[in-house]
């Protein structure tokens, strides 16, 4: 249905439990595709073991904080960029674990950089992949 320009959609509360219930399964599908351990998932999301277990069970009772949402955004962006750059899913999923000679990675894998513990690490990998695919965000 096409809405007239004067009709605005209601604002989405990104911190609601409903949003968490929608985005967390996406993250866990990506984590499974990448073969991430529970510890690696915790590091990417910046959460503890018990929080990850609750989220994995689908029983998130609260919304996600801004930092977790930002981390998820970068993970989703990294995954999407890899699907564009490497359209064979197995290659795209394996890329994050392969040694990389790009200066950003210094011979280590992108996953090692992503697991650095800072949102900036996810941002750096996301920006690198966007540059590789020629994305223009200006």
pLDDT in tens, 24-72: 999 999 999 999 999 999 999 999 999 999 999 988 888 899 999 999 9
Residue 86 lies in a domain: yes
Residue 138 lies in a domain: no
**What values do phi and psi take at 31, rounded to 5?**
-60, -40
Residue 59 lies in a domain: yes
Q: State the Cα–Cα distance between residues 77 and 64, nearest whole angstrom.
A: 18
Domain count within the chain: 1
Residue 12 lies in a domain: no
Residue 115 lies in a domain: yes
Quote the domain boundaries for residue 45: 17-132
Q: State the Cα–Cα distance between residues 127 and 5, nearest whole angstrom.
A: 33
Model pTM score: 0.86
Banded model confidence at residue 5, pLDDT cuts 50, 70, 90: low
Residue 8 lies in a domain: no
Residue 124 lies in a domain: yes
pLDDT at residue number 19: 78
Are 133 and 85 a contacting pair, CB within 8 Å? yes
Q: Is the pLDDT at 91 greater than 90, yes or no?
A: yes
Tell me the average pLDDT of the chain: 88
| Beta partners for residue 109, in sequence order | 99
pLDDT at residue number 49: 96
Residue 28 lies in a domain: yes
């Amino acid at each position: 249905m096409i809405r007239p320009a004067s009709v605005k959609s209601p604002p989405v509360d990104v911190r609601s439990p409903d949003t968490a219930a929608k985005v967390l399964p996406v993250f866990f599908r990506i984590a499974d595709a990448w073969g991430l351990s529970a510890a690696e998932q915790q590091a990417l999301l910046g959460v503890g073991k018990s929080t990850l277990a609750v989220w994995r069970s689908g029983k998130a009772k609260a919304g996600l904080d801004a930092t977790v949402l930002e981390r998820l955004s970068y993970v989703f962006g990294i995954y999407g960029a890899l699907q564009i750059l490497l359209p064979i899913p197995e290659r795209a999923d394996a890329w994050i674990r392969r040694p990389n000679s790009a200066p950003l990675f210094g011979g280590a894998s992108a996953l090692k950089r992503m697991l650095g513990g800072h949102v900036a690490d996810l941002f750096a990998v996301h920006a690198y992949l966007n540059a590789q695919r020629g994305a223009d965000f200006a």
